[in-house]
Amino acid sequence: MMESRQSLAAVTLAALLLASCGGGGGSSSLGSGGPVTVTPTPTPTPTANCALAARQNFARAVIDEWYLFPGDVAAGVNPASFSDVQSYIDALVAPARALNKDRFFTYITSIAEENAFFSSGSSAGFGVRLVYDAANQRLLIAEAYESAPAFAAGIDRGTAIIAIGTTSSNLRTIAEIVATEGTAGITSALGPNDPGVTRVLRIADAAGTRDVTVTKADYALDPVSDRYGAKIISEGGRNYGYLNLRTFIGSANDQLRTAFADFRAQGVTDIVIDFRYNGGGLVSTANLMGDLLGAGRSGQIFSQTLFRASKSAENDEHRFAPGSQSIAPTRIAFIGTRSTASASELVINSMLPYLGTNMTLVGSNTFGKPVGQIALDRAECDDRMRVVAFATGNAAGQSDYYDGLAPKIANSCAAGDDLNFPLGDPREASVRTAIDFLAGNACTTRIAEASVGAAARSSGARMSVEPEMLVPDRPSAAQRELPGLF
């Protein structure tokens, strides 16, 4: 989540970001935005200001001033030994990474690309989330976005990609690609995420096996799906709210308000919040979600933001500020996986002091990122330096969940991610388990007792443990927030 902070006077553009490494019909009409066009800032040119050495010096200066772990920065790193900025950054923060504090959260990115994503979810590609099924050497679609090319071509959740080619005559099976190039070969075979890139995909789903041609294009990611993003599930004479938030971006705010207004109007106090693929995003949107869950808690602490000692003047806290759409939840079942990170974890962690055993984590353990980044820009080079600069905590001060949130939630409940059913369908394994918790049924297996992190076993499109999202070595801004996005 990102939030403007006027007090950071030294920062050209300062924003709080909580993001991952690099997360049915609704009862409300939640419209999606159209594609957006962002005028890019100037791209790097071989001038003194944008030469490699100057860009490396900029990155080092940001780390020296703001890095949350100043004692865990490598000394004696020679920038001349690196041919790009990111490799130099990686070397500087390697000690913190070795301690599991900074798992590729400090990086340099494009201002224009990131602004386009966080303003409205603008991205380019097929518009799907991909899971690698190692047992059967297939790619599986975990989610497809309604405004994107793949969905228009008939590709949706549960579809298997069996082979990839640039034409129908040079299709290679996933097994062939992995045998020669590993999973990185799948990313290469899918091609760059640029509009106009075309691939032929051999797919299999309930309709059979066929070849489809899909051309990548710009699309706007709807953070709350019109199909299943917000809905009421009625069972046993009770109404349960279901909310699936794909990512924390600015265009989600009004959609969240609309969803919670509907929950409130229908008297919903038991709610399923599905963060299973949500890798994070804007702090401001996370705080809004806290407000929407905070009826009756006005002025109480939702979350805390803590900088390094030399920047302690920037420490902040968000107190619940409920509005007319807010509800007072009796019980919440959060659905998570290893793709659930950062801003999603902030919301879960922040509700724990208030709900205790009346909330649970369903699915598998979360990623474990209780830290966030600020952004500092060099606009003339289109360089945005994202540096880990703050930790987040809840009202009880709990902020140490680098190993994920499952160990902090005693009544967490293991469940699979069943790709045979749509998201939001009460027959889907994690949704079923979440509703059972809300209905007062005991959990069968705790997450701590399950084989979390084991290789996913599969039967058809069913993933019985946990999806292994396909993530490139150098993810884009969108891929950092949405693990598995292509």
- pLDDT by residue for the chain (486 residues), tens only, comes to 333 333 343 333 334 555 443 322 222 222 222 222 334 444 555 566 899 999 999 999 999 999 999 999 999 999 999 999 999 999 999 999 999 899 888 999 988 878 877 776 667 899 999 999 888 888 999 999 999 999 999 999 999 999 999 999 999 999 999 999 999 999 999 998 889 999 999 999 999 999 999 999 999 889 999 999 999 999 999 999 999 999 999 999 999 999 999 999 999 999 999 999 999 988 899 999 999 999 999 999 999 999 999 999 999 999 999 999 999 999 999 999 999 999 999 999 999 999 999 999 999 999 999 999 898 999 899 999 999 999 999 999 999 999 999 999 989 999 999 999 999 999 999 999 999 999 999 988 999 877 444 333 333 444 444 558 998 877 777 787 788 999
d(CA 195, CA 215): 7
The residue written with tokens 């959060």 in the block is 334
The pLDDT of residue 95 is: 97
Sign of the Cα torsion 113, 114, 119, 121 reads positive
Note whether 16 and 5 are within 8 A (CB). yes
d(CA 144, CA 159): 10
Q: Which residues contact 354 (CB under 8 A, 6 or more apart)?
A: 297, 300, 395
Residue 400 burial by Cβ neighbours in a 10 Å radius (0-12, 13-18, 19+): exposed
Sign of the Cα torsion 256, 257, 258, 262 reads positive
d(CA 429, CA 418): 6
Look up residue 56 and give its amino acid: Q
Predicted structure pTM score: 0.84
Note whether 118 and 282 are within 8 A (CB). yes
Alpha carbon separation from 31 to 229, 255, 277 (Å, rounded): 11, 8, 21
Look up residue 404 and give its amino acid: G
The DSSP string of 214-237 is: EE-EEEE--SS-TTTSEEEEEETT
d(CA 157, CA 118): 24
Spans of all domains in the chain: 124-220, 222-368+391-452
The residue written with tokens 């009826």 in the block is 295
Sign of the Cα torsion 412, 417, 422, 428 reads negative
According to CATH, the superfamily of the domain at 124-220 is PDZ domain (2.30.42.10)
d(CA 294, CA 37): 36
CA 126 vs. chain centroid, Å, equals 17
The pLDDT of residue 456 is: 36
Note whether 109 and 477 are within 8 A (CB). yes
According to CATH, the superfamily of the domain at 222-368+391-452 is 2-enoyl-CoA Hydratase; Chain A, domain 1 (3.90.226.10)
Mark residue 227 as left, alpha or beta (left: phi above 0; alpha: psi -120 to 50; beta: remaining): alpha
